[in-house]
Structure 1
């Protein structure tokens, strides 16, 4: 076996240029697959971590409208939006510990004559504020939190404070004009590594409702279940209560009720399907690479016909010739895999850095596991070996006399 391996390496090195051209298809395919899988796994780990911080005892209710997926903005256009009445209804469901509504509105933000568009979130300032802070990773590093009596004050994200207004720094006590309403900054949040969240503006619910003349509207309702309660069962009970109040049939609801585990499962399902399609497209180059190896091995068989005849004449068996060419084609695939893994890792890392700079977010992370590397190497070797089966079989079935006569 070691002799066959040495012979394969020698033959590849003697035809270096051809070998390099042959493995291009393999390493492009492996590079694409490795980079996509590593970024996908990293993203899933980050998202899973966020859901873990959210906790398994949380339930999220959002509206759906006009064929839209459930989202905070759907309540704006829904014929039957979420309101305070829904909160009152949910509070009476067995297994519910706390309920908090949130109102999300698009706004014009003005600071020192620099105007920007953004979102402002109206949040509770009562006993449910702690649950909302935990679910949204709100941590104040400067200033203070809201009190029950606060009005026309805001808490802003770290990016909002440092970079939102053309490098004009927002400090505690500064006034931001939100849709022509002056609001004083009382708190700045710790960065969470996500530009969207770090650009957030939070205000007391009553203030946002007053500015936008929305006395009852809610964009989202968050629920915390009681200790020992099964979130899925509580979610089902909430869904039934809301459906009955709205006189809607099961399956025709204009709202969604999801546990954190259901949200994670939905994300994993959708992301997995997208990743599979993208990787499938990238893997086409592996097929092209395999065809390239097959073509190269056929050429090699033709060039080495006399050599095959000599080996058979001195006692080489058909199985020996078969192994020689299979190992050689497998090595070509393996070389392509090694180069592809290196390039794929580089591409993934560059994508991670570029995303962090462009989005201001750490959500795109690379994840290189031993299973990924070993799997990529094994797959590339198998692609090479399988591509070499037909040429190797052709070589092994040659008759010594005919091979020796070949010119």
Structure 2
């Protein structure tokens, strides 16, 4: 018996019991669809995180006081006083750090913001006029504050889009030149940052940026010239490692630390973040796929059960085939092909269902503008793997029924009622 004959017989046998065959395929179909969909969600989350990290600049390095490094990477929360303005000045010395374009300080204060009868809470970040350039932000309205504003401690502020949404109904142009209160201090809005969106790194639009001197004088509660974080911009993404090494050596020398393991600061680049989140989302994708694969095993058990019933029902047919010259191998191959055909067809339908649902969810996420649902991304390897596993399950769980059918004695089979 060749494969073509086996497929023809398999199709004829399964067509004779359409309802039973459909119900049997359902387990494989659901399992493959679940694998495709859940892996697509994992891939979509990974892509969303990667895009967000890259949107913040692939050549950015964060420097934290060693005792205050927290999950608030983008906002720079911290309380230890191991970083200073002199450190920032040293890092901006291009003779010592040729791969560093600029380094900016960052201090952060709680920001309860009020405009007329609207209130909103967002971190108020104090920095220099280079903040938008280093953090890779554009402006949707107005302008960023200037070096003169930093020198004069001007009470001006640049708002993120989330703050504008909650204080000004989302109208960026209407926010410019308006006066808002931050911690009961009046600030004039001079610009609005273009939206970045939210994702694995949190909402990057829920921010307000003021001159660092203004933050020291009006928002940090008299804590002095506190610096929670230094943000370094390397000359390119390829120069990030070199810039990080230069910055490390400068700070070690300034802090008079000879042993790098005893450094009172820590560094993290955007690439480090990307690698960390990549590992997390990769594990998440594998976990989701593994959970979904359990239903494939359940579907395989259903195939074995149905094939055993089929062998019993077709005992006389097997006896007749053997009596007219069919070999043991012919019977074995026939039932294996039927089992694999059943699981393979279920796998193909599952791929169509899973991919279709992924496209549907992605379309909904894009059309609704929802940032809470990363659009699923169906990958070719997951489709090929899911189909291959479904066929392999048909082969594995079909071996026992096929072997049982091939082992039937033709004389006993002809006597079977």
TM-score by length of 2: 0.83
CA distance in 2 between partners of 1:276 and 1:186 (Å): 47
Structure 1 residue 241, shift from structure 2 partner: 4.5
- Aligned counterpart, 2:182: 178
Superimposed CA distance per residue, residues 32-82 of structure 1 (whole angstroms, 9 cap, x where no aligned partner): 2211222222333343344445555432223454785573567434x4554
- Aligned counterpart, 2:220: 212
- Aligned counterpart, 1:87: 88
CA distance in 2 between partners of 1:324 and 1:106 (Å): 72
Whether 1:30 aligns to 2:32 is yes
The DSSP-based 3-state class of the residue aligned with 1:164 is helix
Whether 1:198 aligns to 2:205 is yes
What stretches of structure 1 of length at least 5 have no aligned partner? Answer: none
The DSSP-based 3-state class of the residue aligned with 2:188 is strand
Cα distance change on mapping 1:265 and 1:206 into 2, 3 Å = same
| Higher deviation after alignment, 250-259 or 113-122 | 250-259
What stretches of structure 2 of length at least 5 have no aligned partner? Answer: none
- Aligned counterpart, 1:124: 128
CA distance in 2 between partners of 1:343 and 1:322 (Å): 32
- Aligned counterpart, 1:388: 398
- Aligned counterpart, 2:63: 61
- Aligned counterpart, 1:148: 147
- Aligned counterpart, 2:331: 321
| Higher deviation after alignment, 44-53 or 372-381 | 44-53
| Higher deviation after alignment, 356-365 or 200-209 | 356-365
Whether 1:235 aligns to 2:244 is yes
| Higher deviation after alignment, 285-294 or 6-15 | 6-15
| Higher deviation after alignment, 33-42 or 88-97 | 88-97
- Aligned counterpart, 1:404: 414
Cα contact 2:127–2:212 (8 A) shared by 1: yes
Structure 1 residue 360, shift from structure 2 partner: 4.1
Query: Alpha carbon RMSD of aligned pairs, Å?
Result: 3.2
Cα contact 1:193–1:363 (8 A) shared by 2: no
- Aligned counterpart, 1:17: 19
CA distance in 2 between partners of 1:357 and 1:254 (Å): 47
Alignment of 1:228-267 (within 5 A): 230-243=239-252, 245=255, 247=257, 250-251=260-261, 255-267=265-277
TM-score by length of 1: 0.85
